[in-house]
Chains A and B, each alone.
Chain A
């Protein structure tokens, strides 16, 4: 069992390294700035190029944490008050994709890929 634990730890370490290197290797994606202010995403709708990965750079100007989440795009990230967090998003097919603030579901935003 100890060997199993050691092996899984090693595996975890290796995969972490691999992930970080892959993250490095990929060219810096286009950054799309969004702010959370007064419990609203601004802008509430952003346009991106289809077929190209990008990053949502979310700045939270409120005093409460926001959790930017899209089940469809598989991201889920907390943005603490006063902080800016970058969220990587894969290349999208043309279409509209919704994201929400999971801590305040009435706050929704849209990504339009075209």
Chain B
């Protein structure tokens, strides 16, 4: 909250210093201002809904007034808004709750004017309108997108009262529809020797990342639809790059240009950011694939277990390298593990929902989940990860997560176990 207030103030100061006070009217509201504007009275329902006619049909449906999932924090133009993963079921993230990481605000783009230029080391540079792209054969698939920085706050500044949203809410999972990038590569004729391409977004920082051409030939897509409708503005409307399994930042939103080249472009977002310091004065770059990870979303803070007996331990698991082959759950701090049931199909580079029925008898317990992917990779413990990466590293943080259950049923986040 303090940070948000500060950032807005600094923006105001910046704008004033630049003599550009006119911009202020367009700045997003801070979290507190927004909350004040949207504060609504608590919902009410008729004593007997079967005795009064209900509401009429509407153009666009809304959630029950009793259900109010929210992304948080909000009001930043360079920041992140996390998905409330503890409020969701199955594996589809409702599009309006997909996490958002933006670097210069969400641009407003007229789809009729938006084009995708593909040029550089190609035989035929081409510019495609949205209508052109939709005339290619379409592909639909499930894929998660996870920010490379997901889990950072829970590592650097953990608190027992962190929710799943605050711990790992920069991961969302959707059905995406678009054209395979390999189809577009074929259309332009990618030249021999082109090993990388630059993907550039149409936001106010022209966000740009280097991607290997091999990924473009494999499963990369240019997508225009998410969960059955056009992509939402904060997810890249009208088109975004989808690189299944790669760190979120590379899935460039508002995609406007692809340039084929022989060498990496070395943009700021792949050099001074999104890189991993390692022991012995090394810094790892181009760590694109998101390794297997999971988190229990219930029970989790701020839930409180009421009554002993069976209840499901449920959560999400995903791997940027392939399919989740199994998820294991421990209720004794990792001393023993049992296989959880997978409730959804094991699609490659997509989230699965797991469930483990737990008979809680009131003991203090530490519950954990551990994902295993089809490459045999086992989600590491915190100490394993810290030993190989060093305590200063925080991107691509995929250590096992734990929740502590107190005798009275109180659940708290147990960091870095």
Answer yes or no: are A and B bound together in one complex. no
Residues of B within 8 A of A (CB): none
